[in-house]
């Protein structure tokens, strides 16, 4: 094991015994949701994974250690500190390690640490992507590059329309990342089940997804996979309402000159504020739904 990795006793035991393990990220805790719902959701995700037979490994950098498996106190700390914690993507990891500092890991950084720890499945809410206006800002999330080079399958609820969904799919195609739809032909748009864009392959069972991941690993070339799982019908938001909130959030971000790593957290918080917490309730449900699917895939892979 890499010298900078620190596994929790439970994660270490599960990996050693070949039991299913799924990674969970921590930027969603610090920057993706408000306190205390962020901590509650993180703990509910861990419980949901265990219920489905997979050990959860929530990932973050604590005191310069690349941790897979956090204590409740550590999760609570990340949730309370919120945006005061460093949002850690690929480029931040060496600095945090050298400075023995803390960081909440994005999808990209979580994938790197999961791969170092030997964890191949990772559930989250939404990934970063190609932002609207990227043809001039060049704002493309490091998450997409990571999917192209790190062997971890990421289960998410599709791409939010704070992003340019079409360009995000084009980018993933260029980078050779398979994009699967669980039970759907259309890429889900996070808060809603439809985006107007198709995925590469519709898949109908966790076993089928596991067979794709297994084939990818057997060929031993770099890169992950994106499995998109639509939000359950009963928690989906009306398209018009969410799109109006997103349009307003994008306008305010532009007016305030928000840039770089601040962009995604700013947009997420604005949308939550503008929808009076309704989007937060949807967000929580879709994350739990993704954790359950990831656990089922991990269970299949461990067979
Ligand atoms: N999208 C969400 N919720 C999130 C994020 C994205 O719906 O919490 C977080 C994830 O941690 C993701 C990161 O990896 O934002 C992407 O940030 P950026 O766009 O700066 O790469
Ligand atoms: Mn960005």
Q: Can you give the residue ranges of every domain in the chain?
A: 5-302
Q: Is 25 a catalytic residue?
A: yes
Pocket test for ligand 1, best of 107, 258, 287 (most atoms within 8 A of CB): 107
Residue 283, token pair as written in the block: 């967000």
Question: What CATH number belongs to 5-302?
Answer: 3.40.1790.10
DSSP 148: H
d(CA 80, CA 29): 9
Residue 266 CA, ligand 1 centroid: distance in Å:
10
Question: Ligand 2 centroid vs 31 CA: distance in angstroms?
Answer: 14
Predicted local distance difference test score (pLDDT) of residue 276? 87
pLDDT of 231 reads 98
pTM above 0.85, yes or no: yes
How far CA 222 is from CA of 89, 97, 148, 149, 289, in Å, comes to 19, 24, 7, 5, 28
Instruction: Judge whether 161 and 243 are in contact, CB under 8 Å.
Output: yes
Would you say how long the chain is, in residues? 303
Q: Is 160 in the pocket of ligand 1 (CB under 6 A)?
A: yes
**Is 107 close to ligand 1, i.e. is its CB under 6 Å away?**
yes
55-93 core/surface letters (b: 16 or more CB in 10 A; e: else): bbbbbbbbebbbbbbbeeebbbbbbeebeebbbbbbebb
Catalytic residue among 6, 65, 87, 160: 160
Q: Tens digit of pLDDT per residue, the chain (303 long)? A: 999 999 999 999 999 999 999 999 999 999 999 999 999 999 999 999 999 999 999 999 999 999 999 999 999 999 999 999 999 999 999 999 999 999 999 999 999 999 999 999 999 999 999 999 999 999 999 999 999 999 999 999 999 989 999 999 999 999 999 999 999 999 999 999 999 999 999 999 999 999 999 999 999 999 999 999 999 999 999 999 999 999 999 999 999 999 999 999 999 999 999 998 899 999 999 999 999 999 999 999 999
> Distance between CA 3 and CA 66 in Å, rounded?
9
Instruction: Reply yes or no on whether 185 is catalytic.
Output: no
pLDDT for the residue numbered 277: 87
Atom nearest to 264 CA in ligand 1: 19
């Amino acid at each position: 094991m890499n010298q900078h990795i620190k596994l929790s006793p439970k994660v270490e035991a599960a990996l050693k015994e070949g039991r299913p393990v799924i990674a969970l990220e921590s930027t969603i805790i610090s920057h993706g949701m408000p306190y205390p719902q962020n901590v509650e959701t993180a703990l509910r995700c861990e419980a949901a994974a265990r219920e489905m037979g997979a050990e959860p490994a929530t990932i973050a950098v604590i005191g310069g250690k690349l941790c897979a498996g956090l204590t409740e106190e550590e999760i609570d700390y990340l949730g309370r500190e919120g945006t005061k914690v460093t949002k850690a993507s690929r480029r931040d990891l060496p600095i945090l390690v050298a400075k023995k500092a803390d960081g909440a890991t994005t999808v990209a950084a979580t994938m790197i640490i999961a791969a170092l720890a030997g964890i191949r499945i990772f559930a989250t809410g939404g990934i970063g992507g190609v932002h609207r206006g990227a043809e001039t800002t060049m704002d493309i999330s490091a998450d997409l590059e990571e999917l192209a080079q790190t062997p971890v399958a990421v289960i998410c609820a599709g791409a939010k329309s704070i992003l340019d969904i079409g360009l995000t799919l084009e980018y993933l195609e260029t980078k050779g990342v398979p994009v699967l739809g669980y039970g759907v032909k259309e890429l889900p748009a996070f808060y809603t089940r439809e985006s107007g864009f198709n995925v590469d392959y519709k898949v109908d069972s966790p076993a089928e997804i596991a067979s794709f991941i297994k084939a990818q690993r057997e060929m031993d070339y770099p890169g992950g996979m994106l499995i998109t799982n639509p939000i359950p019908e009963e928690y989906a938001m009306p398209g018009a309402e969410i799109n109006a909130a997103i349009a307003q959030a994008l306008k305010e971000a532009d007016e305030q000159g928000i840039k770089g790593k601040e962009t995604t957290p700013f947009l997420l918080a604005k949308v939550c504020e503008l929808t009076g917490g309704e989007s937060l309730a949807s967000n929580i449900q879709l994350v739990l739904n993704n954790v359950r699917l990831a656990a089922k895939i991990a269970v299949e892979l461990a067979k």
